[in-house]
Amino acid sequence: MHDVPATSPRVRSPRTAAGQTDPADHERSRTDPADHEAFTRLVTPELDVLYRVARTLVHRPADAEDLVQDTLVRAYRAIGTFDGSHPRAWLLTIMRNTEINRNRRRRPVLLHDADMVRGVSDPGTEGQPEESLVGGAFERAVVRAVAALPERHAQVMTLVDIDGLRYAEAAEALGVPIGTVMSRLHRARAQVRRRLTAEGLAPRGGTS
């Protein structure tokens, strides 16, 4: 899962990372020392989750760190207008908009491998201990089923079930209402369950 290279080959400085921006984000290009401290205090605890979500949102896993850096630059410029509440939601909103702009600049978007899009990949069979075969088969089937979902359904399952986001946070990351997150999640899981049932890995059930 999340077969992301341990390191991004493109470690950029903020000045380089800030190269591509949207005029709408330029509330501030310089901040005062109090803002420096506030910014560091707000974003540092969120770096881990930002990177996790970035791995799910980007089409190429190697771009995840770049997306986080671009998000941080935009957030830094806007720190003066942030009220300090719900920093994770604020950062996820900025990340979503940043990713939209990055994709817009990159058009045409290349079609991507399913496992790269969703941040999920088949764990494979090599090296699987024999005693864990049953559990391993179920897990691999789940991963395959998620990878076979439409991208927006796979994304929401990844954000909630793998990245551990709350519904509200997933909604911020995707730019959709919470109800849409719930609806997509419901459909996605039902589809995964149906596939597992068809493969004989889950019991049959009634509606959805």
* Candidate list 163, 171, 174, 184; residue touching other proteins; CB under 8 A: 163
The answer to the question of residue 73 lying near other proteins (CB under 8 A) is yes
Return the SS3 of 157.
helix
What lies within 8 Å, CB to CB, of 141 at 6+ separation is 195, 196, 199, 201
HEC letters along 125-155: CCCCCHHHHHHHHHHHHHHHHHHCCCHHHHH
Q: How far is the CB of 41 from other proteins (least distance, A)?
A: 10
Q: How far is the CB of 108 from other proteins (least distance, A)?
A: 26
* Candidate list 157, 171, 173, 174; residue touching other proteins; CB under 8 A: 157
The answer to the question of residue 202 lying near other proteins (CB under 8 A) is yes
Of residues 15-44, which lie at the interface with other proteins (CB under 8 A)?
Answer: 15, 17-19, 21, 23, 26, 29-31, 36, 39-40, 43-44
Q: Which stretch binds other proteins (CB under 8 A): 8-16, 81-89, 90-98, 108-116?
A: 8-16
Residues 47 and 155: their CA atoms lie apart, in Å, by 20
Q: Using alpha carbons only, what angle is made at residue 188 by residues 144 and 183, rounded to the nearest 5 degrees? A: 165
* Candidate list 76, 102, 116, 169; residue touching other proteins; CB under 8 A: 76
Q: Where are the alpha helices (DSSP H) in 20-166?
A: 33-43, 47-57, 64-78, 87-106, 114-118, 133-147, 151-157
Look at residues 85, 60, 55, 54 and name the one whose alpha carbon lies nearest to residue 72: 54
Q: Which stretch binds other proteins (CB under 8 A): 84-92, 94-102, 108-116, 185-193?
A: 185-193
Residues 169 and 183: their CA atoms lie apart, in Å, by 15
Residues 60 and 58: their CA atoms lie apart, in Å, by 5
What are the residues binding other proteins (CB under 8 A)? 1-2, 6-8, 11-15, 17-19, 21, 23, 26, 29-31, 36, 39-40, 43-44, 47-48, 50-52, 65, 68-69, 72-73, 76-77, 120, 123, 138-139, 142-143, 146, 157-158, 160-164, 166-167, 178, 182, 185-186, 189-190, 192-193, 196-197, 202-208
